[in-house]
Copies of this chain bind each other. A is one copy, B any other.
Amino acid sequence: MSTCDPSSQLLQGGLTAVPGFFAAGLSSGIKKGGLADLALIYADTPCRVAGLFTQNQFCAAPLQLNKRHLEKGLGRAIVVNSGNANAFTGAQGMRDAEAMARAAAQSLGLPVDAVYVASTGVIGERLPLRRILEAVPKLCAALSDSGSAAAAKAIMTTDTFQKETAWEASVGAQRIRVGGIAKGSGMIHPNMATMLAFLATDVAMETALLQDALREAVNYSFNCVTIDGDTSTSDMALLFANGKKGHLIRTKDLRYRQFVALLKAACLALAKMLVRDGEGATKLIAIEVSGAKDRAAAQKIASSIARSLLVKTAFFGEDANWGRIVAAIGNAQVPVLEKEVDLSFGPTQLLRGGAYLGRDAEASVSYYLKRGEIELHVGLRSGEGSATVWTSDLSFDYVKINASYRS
Residues on A close to B: CB < 8 A? 55-58, 85, 87-88, 90, 122-125, 186-187, 228-233, 307-310, 313-314, 316-317, 319, 321-324, 326-336, 338-339, 354-356, 394-396, 398-400, 402-407
For residue A182, give the distance in angstroms from its CB to the closest CB of chain B. 19
Main secondary structure of the interface of A (DSSP, over half): loop
Q: A57-B332, A231-B327 are in contact. List 15 more A-B contacts (CB 8 A).
A: A57-B329, A57-B334, A88-B354, A90-B355, A124-B322, A124-B323, A124-B326, A230-B327, A233-B326, A309-B309, A313-B402, A314-B402, A314-B406, A394-B399, A395-B399
Most buried by B among A187, A309, A395: A309
Closest chain B residue to A92 by CB distance? Answer: B355
Closest chain B residue to A85 by CB distance? Answer: B323
Enumerate chain B residues within 8 angstroms of A232, measured Cβ to Cβ: 327
For residue A202, give the distance in angstroms from its CB to the closest CB of chain B. 36
Enumerate chain B residues within 8 angstroms of A233, measured Cβ to Cβ: 326-327, 330
Enumerate chain B residues within 8 angstroms of A395, measured Cβ to Cβ: 399
Closest chain B residue to A332 by CB distance? Answer: B57
Closest chain B residue to A126 by CB distance? Answer: B356
Enumerate chain B residues within 8 angstroms of A394, measured Cβ to Cβ: 399
Question: What number of copies of this chain does the assembly contain?
Answer: 2
Q: Is the CB of A331 within 8 A of B398?
A: no
Enumerate chain B residues within 8 angstroms of A123, measured Cβ to Cβ: 322-324, 326-327
Q: Is the CB of A402 within 8 A of B310?
A: yes
Instruction: Tell me the bound Cα distance from A402 to B324 in angstroms.
Output: 11
For residue A70, give the distance in angstroms from its CB to the closest CB of chain B. 21
Enumerate chain B residues within 8 angstroms of A327, measured Cβ to Cβ: 56, 58, 87, 123, 187, 230-233
Q: Is the CB of A124 within 8 A of B399?
A: no
Enumerate chain B residues within 8 angstroms of A336, measured Cβ to Cβ: 57-58
Closest chain B residue to A186 by CB distance? Answer: B310
Instruction: Tell me the bound Cα distance from A57 to B336 in angstroms.
Output: 7
Closest chain B residue to A91 by CB distance? Answer: B339
Q: Is the CB of B57 within 8 A of A230?
A: no
Enumerate chain B residues within 8 angstroms of A332, measured Cβ to Cβ: 57
Enumerate chain B residues within 8 angstroms of A230, measured Cβ to Cβ: 308-310, 324, 327-328, 331
